[in-house]
Amino acid sequence: MAVRPSKWFERKSRERTMRLWAEMAESVQFMPQGQIRRLTDEALGLRASLNRFLMRGDRKASISQAALDALNLPGGTDWRWRPGFMAGHITPRGVASPVPGTRLGDRAAVWHDCEEQAIVLEQVQNPRATDLSPFGMRLEVFSFSGSFLSISIDLPTDALEGLTCNHIVRLETSMVVERPISVFARLNIGHGPNTDEILQPLQGLESGLQSQQVIEFDLAYIEMNEKRLEKIWLDLIFESPGMCAVEIRELFLSRHMRADF
């Protein structure tokens, strides 16, 4: 394959700039104060440009993914959503030794009863060009003596708008597990003083292989008060998760009306 000289020189120039800033970061303690002030101004300008690039890149990725989101969805789909931590950068990118209820981004939280708290939850970049989500989530568990571990994901309030018992909520997932492990998805809907839930297992999770599957939650099986809907969230529940890592590479929810017969 022919190499385009202009592109090659551009890439080499960026690599050289990155090395220069890395070297200056290591030697900043030996610089005079005047030089530090000048370089600080340059660094701030560079950081602003990089932040704009990342923001616009994320926006373009979101636009291109939106077109893909409409594919292969059931007829009558009236709502679709992917968590923000799978669509763009979040801060902080990860949490280690989290206490119960620690949040990652504005939608996800980890819950457990393990005293050791030997757990790491972090946002990662999806490795394959065919992954629809630019980012994923990695859960790594070391020794685990607790009785439960779950990731709770709050759905936006617009998921409740017009929601009826005739709806089916659809979950599309893609996961990679380090070793075989049982994972369950539980949809929870709060209405008034009550909360109804539907539990579904994720099947076929094998070591090192990416498992893609679709789960449907049929709301006809719960006694939901459509006039008092207050909250909806998804729990991913991991059984016996010790010494295991799980990568969630896709998490996409939608809803559609049940077909009439």
Q: Note the pLDDT of residue 8.
A: 67
Q: Note the pLDDT of residue 2.
A: 44
Question: What tokens appear for 63 in the block?
Answer: 């636009």
Distance (Å, whole) CA 56 – CA 62: 10
**pLDDT per position as a tens digit, 128-158:** 766 778 899 999 999 899 999 999 999 999 9
Residue 60 in this model has a pLDDT that exceeds 90: no
Q: Which domains does the chain possess?
A: 5-68 (no CATH), 77-257 (2.60.120.260)
Question: What tokens appear for 12 in the block?
Answer: 């080499």
**pLDDT per position as a tens digit, 68-87:** 555 578 888 999 999 988 88
Which is nearest to 83 in space by CA: 62, 112, 63, 97?
62
Average pLDDT, the chain: 86
User: Given pLDDT bands bounded at 50, 70 and 90, which one contains residue 88?
Assistant: confident
Q: Note the pLDDT of residue 67.
A: 47
Tell me the mean pLDDT in the region 162-170.
Answer: 96
Rounding to the nearest 10 degrees, give the CA dihedral for residues 178, 86, 75, 68. Answer: -100
Q: Note the pLDDT of residue 23.
A: 86
**pLDDT per position as a tens digit, 99-128:** 999 998 888 999 999 998 999 999 998 877
CB crowding 123-142: b at 16 or more within 10 Å, else e: beebeeeebbbbbbbbbbbe
**pLDDT per position as a tens digit, 194-215:** 999 999 999 878 777 788 899 9
Amino acid residing at 143: S
